[in-house]
Copies of this chain bind each other. A is one copy, B any other.
Amino acid sequence: MQDRMMAAVLYGVGDVRLEQRPVPVPGAGEVLVRVHRVGVCGSDVHYFRDGRIGHYVVQAPMVLGHESAGEVVALGSDVTTLKIGDRVALEPGYTCGTCRYCKSGRYNLCPDVVFMATPPVDGALAQYVAWPATHCFPLPESMTMDDGAMMEPLAVGLWAVERGRVRPGDVVAVFGCGPIGLLTLQAARTAGAARLIAVDIAPARLAHARRLGATDVVDDRSGDATEQIRQLLAGSGDAWSSMGVDVALETAGSVRTTRNTLQVTRPGGVAVLTGLPAQPMVELDIVSAASKEIDIRGQFRYANRYPPAIALAGSGRIDVRSLVTHHFDLMHAQEALEFADARKDVAIKVMIDLV
Residues of A within 8 A of B (CB): 54, 81, 97-109, 111, 132, 134, 138, 158, 161-163, 167-171, 187, 190-192, 194-195, 215, 237-240, 243, 258, 267-268, 273, 276-277, 279-300, 303-304, 307-309, 311-312, 314-315, 317
Contact = CB atoms under 8 A, between A and B. Distances in A.
A297 B138 CA distance: 33
A194 B308 contact: yes
B285 A283 contact: no
Nearest to A294: B298
A192 B104 contact: no
A72 to B, nearest CB: 14
Given A293-B109, A315-B215, A103 B194 contact: no
Contact of A312 (B97, B98, B168, B298): B168
Contact of A282 (B132, B284, B292, B317): B284
A297 to B, nearest CB: 5
Contacts of A281: 283-286
B311 A195 contact: yes
Copies held by the complex: 4
Contacts of A243: 111
Nearest to A134: B98
Contacts of A107: 103
Sorted from nearest, which 8 A-B pairs have the closest CB atoms?
Answer: A169-B308, A105-B105, A290-B298, A97-B97, A194-B311, A273-B290, A98-B134, A296-B296
Contact of A106 (B102, B239, B282, B293): B293
Contact of A169 (B167, B258, B292, B311): B311
A293 B108 contact: yes
Nearest to A194: B311
A107 B293 CA distance: 12
A286 B284 contact: yes
Contacts of A98: 97, 132, 134
